[in-house]
Amino acid sequence: MDLGGAYYNPKDQVRALEQLCGKLPRLDAPEPTPATRNRPRRARQLADEHIQELIAGYSSGATVRALGDRFGIERRTVSTILRRHGVPTRRRGLTPEQVDDAIHLYNFGWSLAWIGARMDVTAGTVRKRLLEHDVTMRDTHGRPHIEAGSPR
């Protein structure tokens, strides 16, 4: 009984198997040491004088993001520090003039993200204000998109 006929050549298969066996560790070789991983580091703690600088900077009008960059910490950490020290935070939002500009830019074809970046707010903030002013949203292809739950 001929299993492979003229096309059956075990030499290539044996050679490939020998190469794979050569890559396996030897049975008498010592077990490799496990990779060492860095332990998670603790968040950077600001000194009291830096916290006072941060609070003063925020009170004088600096943004949370700018303060985070200045002190090398996350913006969320800046907000946590302000909250912990009882500093009232301001909500940025958009002024009525900025909302009018955002509507104009959106109708001109700008994306929510681009408008938000220009006005230093999130795209979600822009979207909320546009929806409050009954602006029809576009889908990702630029076609009018009817929001779920809207009366249109």
Per-residue pLDDT of the chain (152 residues; tens, 9 = 90+): 555 555 566 788 888 888 888 888 778 878 777 777 777 666 668 889 999 999 999 998 888 888 999 998 888 889 899 999 999 888 767 888 999 999 999 999 999 999 988 888 889 999 999 999 999 898 877 677 665 555 54
Its sign, for the CA torsion 73, 76, 79, 81, is negative
pTM of the model as a whole: 0.43
With beta carbons less than 8 A apart as the criterion, state whether 4 and 12 touch.
Answer: no
- pLDDT for the residue numbered 4: 58
Helix (H) or strand (E) holding 101: helix 96-107
CA distances from 118 to 8, 69, 104, 112, 122 (A): 69, 19, 13, 10, 10
Q: What are phi and psi of 136, to 5 degrees?
A: -75, 125
7-16 contacts: CB < 8 A, separation 24 or more? none
